[in-house]
Amino acid sequence: MHAVRALIERGESPREVWVQDGDAERRLADLIDTLRSRGARIRHVPRDELDRLSQGASHQGVVAFVPPLVPESEEVLWHQLKAWKRDTPPLLLILDGVTDVHNVGACLRSADAAGVHGVIVPKDRAAPLNATVRKVACGAAESVPVYQVTNLARALAKLKDMGVWITGTAGEAESSLFEADFSGPTALVMGAEGKGMRRLTREACDTLVKLPMAGQVSSLNVSVATGICLFEVVRQRLPQ
């Protein structure tokens, strides 16, 4: 439901929407009216049809058919980076080998909330921007630009050449996240679930930081850690 509303707020219209018969149809009446006014074809179906279509995911009584999301290219990223730097220190999120679609969706949602300018993913080890990512992101997959790069280590080198400070996250880092300076142009690198950043990615970072862990667990889910790290950047950039 939230993902469909986010599409409408962005001025986009699904070509077809399936709505669950019964209570969901009445509960979503306003949304259905808006979709109809935008030219969407509404089809009323039983719940088991939506369950089958969404492969068991919680659909809240509505599923929209939309064109697939396609990541932006490197060329667009470099052009946009120059534009961002004219207005404010850019904040980029880099996901190195994060392949779980639920984690990627949650990372995009946090990125949107934190005002991230763009998310960078490698071409070879990244989750697709599929329906699950878009649902978990609750509209953030449509609002936060995602850029796909062929060679992540080379892209990090170019970011540094363009004045962006690369901060990687690693459990064995000596410095704490809260000791880092995020006031300037920043790219925050989050590693894959379990394995962390790849060696070449780690070597391309300007600095490594860690979250101070006071309990028994040694690490956090990558999407949870991403939210904590991004909002430390937000905290540091608040007006004094």
d(CA 50, CA 61): 7
Report the chain's C-alpha Rg in angstroms.
20
Binding residues: 191, 211, 220
d(CA 135, CA 146): 16
Contact criterion met (CB below 8 Å) for 198 and 96? yes
d(CA 91, CA 25): 41
Contact criterion met (CB below 8 Å) for 77 and 149? yes
**CB half-sphere exposure, 30, CA atoms < 13 A:** 4
Binding residues for S-adenosyl-L-methionine: 191, 211, 220
